[in-house]
Amino acid sequence: MPNKLPKWVAEEISNSKWKATETFKGSGYFLMTNSKEKNADIQFYEPLPEGRYIITADVPETIKVDNYEKGEVYVFTLQIYKSDLSDNVKQFLEEQYKMNMEIIHKYELTSVEELNE
């Protein structure tokens, strides 16, 4: 099993044709925020449509993640994107990592609201 993805696989994945598929709204908290890289790791209490509870989301310039506390509960709204993997990438992942993947997901944080209990 290779330690890191070959350049051709990484390029195919990063050049994926993303399609916005749905919006998700759920409660959870920030695990990590990175204003420099414009992303955040978020833990949800409810599962996302594909079953995940933890994701890394892209954060637009309009949301200042440094203004939010880690561990505090918020209501997040996400735009979910999907992209199909090429047959070559699917075959590579199956042979090298024993992973059966057809689709990859990308998430964009569109709003953050404090949870008022």
pLDDT per position as a tens digit, 38-56: 999 999 999 999 999 999 9
Which has more pLDDT, 1 or 19? 19
Report the domain count for the chain. 1
Provide the domain limits for residue 38.
20-114
Domain membership flag for residue 40:
yes
Residue-averaged pLDDT of the chain? 92
Domain membership flag for residue 63:
yes
Hey, what are 106's tokens?
Answer: 């990308």
Q: Note the Cα 26 to chain centre separation in Å.
A: 14
Domain membership flag for residue 99:
yes
pTM of the model: 0.85
Domain membership flag for residue 33:
yes
The one-character DSSP state at 63 is S
